[in-house]
């Protein structure tokens, strides 16, 4: 049986584990974003990427070709979230904002062209 001291020790250790400050996703892909440090020493950012399957809530870091679109979208979202953080240098923020905007346009055009091709392919097979 755990003593109250052991429970307190476990609680204190849990409080020391940094918690993500953001969670973002695209499709079945999810990313947690951590921000550590302080204004004097500087901020450090880290993120991970994993698949959270809708069926059974299984987590994996193995991806499929179909995930590429969502991986690019997740990259766009991460760049946008980081660019909105006021603790990055203006140069880094500008670079990430441009990347987010460029990826957004790329994804929009890729989606538009994909659906246009599929609609055209579907119409040509029905005639």
Q: What is the pLDDT of residues 62-93, one digit of tens each?
A: 999 989 999 999 999 999 999 999 899 999 99
- Distant-in-sequence contacts of 100-103, Cβ < 8 A, 24+ apart: 100/76, 103/72, 103/73, 103/75, 103/76, 103/79
pLDDT digits (tens, 9 = 90+) for 14-48: 567 788 989 999 999 999 999 999 888 889 999 99
Domain boundaries, the chain: 17-115
Residue 8 pLDDT > 70, yes or no?
no
- What was the pLDDT predicted at 125? 42
CA distances from 79 to 43, 74, 84, 100 (A): 16, 9, 9, 5
Beta carbons of 56 and 108 less than 8 angstroms apart? no
pTM of the complete model: 0.75
């Amino acid at each position: 049986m755990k003593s109250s001291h052991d429970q307190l020790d476990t609680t204190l250790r849990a409080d020391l584990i940094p918690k993500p400050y953001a969670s973002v996703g695209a499709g079945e892909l999810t990313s947690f974003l951590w921000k550590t440090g302080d204004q004097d020493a500087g901020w450090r950012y880290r993120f991970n990427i994993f698949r959270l399957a809708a069926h059974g809530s299984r987590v994996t870091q193995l991806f499929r070709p179909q995930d590429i679109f969502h991986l690019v979208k997740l990259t766009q979202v991460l760049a946008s979230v980081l660019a909105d953080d006021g603790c990055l240098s203006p140069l880094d923020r500008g670079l990430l904002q441009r990347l987010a905007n460029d990826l957004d346009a790329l994804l929009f055009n890729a989606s538009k062209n994909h659906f246009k091709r599929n609609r055209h392919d579907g119409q040509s097979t029905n005639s």
